[in-house]
Amino acid sequence: MRSLKADRVDQPRRDPAPSRWGYRYQRLMLTPGFRKLVKVGLPALVVCGLVAGWGAREANRQMVADAYNDMKTQIQQRDEFMVKVMAVDGADETLSADVRTVLPIEFPVSSFDLDLEEMRQTVAALPAVADATLRVRPGGILQVGVTQRQPVAVFRGPDGLKLIDAEGVLIQAIVARADRSDLPLITGDGARDFLSEGLEIYRVAGPLLPRMRGVVRMGERRWDVILESGQRILLPYADPVIAFERVVALNQAQDLLERDVAVVDMRNPTRPTIRMNEQAVTNLRQTSAPQE
């Protein structure tokens, strides 16, 4: 019978069996949850710990940030990303000079440093600009596409003559009315808000057009038409265009405005009224007085 005592040390018996703890360890490692924990969770934990420990020092963090910024700058400053000139399209000389003034960019500059949307809003905020597009063209060109506002009338305001577009936006100041004699003149408080009405009055003027000096918005309510000789046509606040057409027709039929008339008052459409000059009144009285 072999010894029941523990094996003698000098003669170790070869035993293929795993030890009790080795067996348990193997079974534990075959448990899916534990296996995942050891193979994924533990390494992840160690890596996170190392990174956190290393990053706990301010100098290390600074080093990482510096290296990052350095590399970022290096890439952004490459030739491929540099913008060297600005090209402005669709604007006349004054406007393109204005555009260059509001976009004070020192070329060359990296395209990463350009905030195109903000620059576009800056350009679009110019009074003479209806719309603007900005893009960086290949070859390092900052392309500014501008749609200019088209003046439709001259507006006389308290601070001088200005061009005005169809939407009532003041575009630019002009020195003299004669500079843009091709455009109608519109003035008066609130005239800008009813610009289309004023322009409509101009449109129906017909033969009266050469004699028209301008239209005036009166009391932010109704229009007056001023003619060359200082004659005024007072239009009602409702349907001023029809009233003006009537005046034009009257003029054609009876040469109304060729006479010494100071004011044609159409404010009450059912009762047009004429105010004559003092001289004319006197003459009228003399001629129409009964002969005694």
Partner 1 sequence: MRDLYQSQRAMRNMRQAAMQRGVVAILDVGSSKIACLVLRFDGPEQFGDADGVGSMAGQSSFRVIGAATTRSRGVRFGEVDAMAETERAIRTAVQAAQKMANVRVDHVIACLSGGRPRSYGLDGQVDVMGQVVTEGDIGRVLAECEVPDIGEGREVLHAQPINFALDNRSGLADPRGQIGQSLTTDMHLMTVEDSVLENLLYCIKRCDLELAGIASSAYTAGISSLVEDEQELGAACIDMGGGSTGISIFMRKHMIYSDCVRMGGDHVTSDISMGLQVAPAMAERIKTFYGGVLATGMDDREMIEVGSDTGDWERDRRTVSRAELIGIMRPRVEEILEEVRVRLDAAGFEHLPSQQIVLTGGASQIPGLDGLATKILGQQVRLGRPLRVQGLPQAATGSAFSAAVGLSLFAAHPQDEWWDFDIPAEKYPARSFKRAVRWFRENW
Q: State the burial class of residue 57 (Cβ atoms within 10 Å of its Cβ: 0-12, 13-18, 19+).
A: exposed
Closest distance of CB 11 from partner 1, Å: 16
Nearer to partner 1, 5 or 271 (CB): 5
Each residue 12-41 as x (binds partner 1 by CB under 8 A) or -, in order, gives: ---xxxx-x--xx-xx--xxx---------
Nearer to partner 1, 4 or 56 (CB): 4
Nearer to partner 1, 21 or 93 (CB): 21
Closest distance of CB 37 from partner 1, Å: 14
Closest distance of CB 60 from partner 1, Å: 42
The answer to whether the CB of 105 falls within 8 A of the CB of 140 is no
Residue whose pair of structure tokens reads 């392309």 in the numeric block: 143
Closest distance of CB 44 from partner 1, Å: 23
DSSP string, 277-292: -HHHHHHHHHHHSPP-
Q: Which of 149, 115, 146 is nearest to 133 (CA)?
A: 146
Closest distance of CB 40 from partner 1, Å: 17
Sheet order of strands, 141-148 included: 85-89, 141-148, 129-137
Tokens of 1: 């019978």
Question: How far apart (Å, rounded) are the C-alpha atoms in residues 182 and 210?
Answer: 11
Nearer to partner 1, 13 or 271 (CB): 13
Question: How far apart (Å, rounded) are the C-alpha atoms in residues 62 and 276?
Answer: 89
| 60 is an interface residue for partner 1 by CB under 8 A | no
Closest distance of CB 136 from partner 1, Å: 58
Nearer to partner 1, 31 or 60 (CB): 31
Q: Which residues bind partner 1 (CB under 8 A)?
A: 15-18, 20, 23-24, 26-27, 30-32
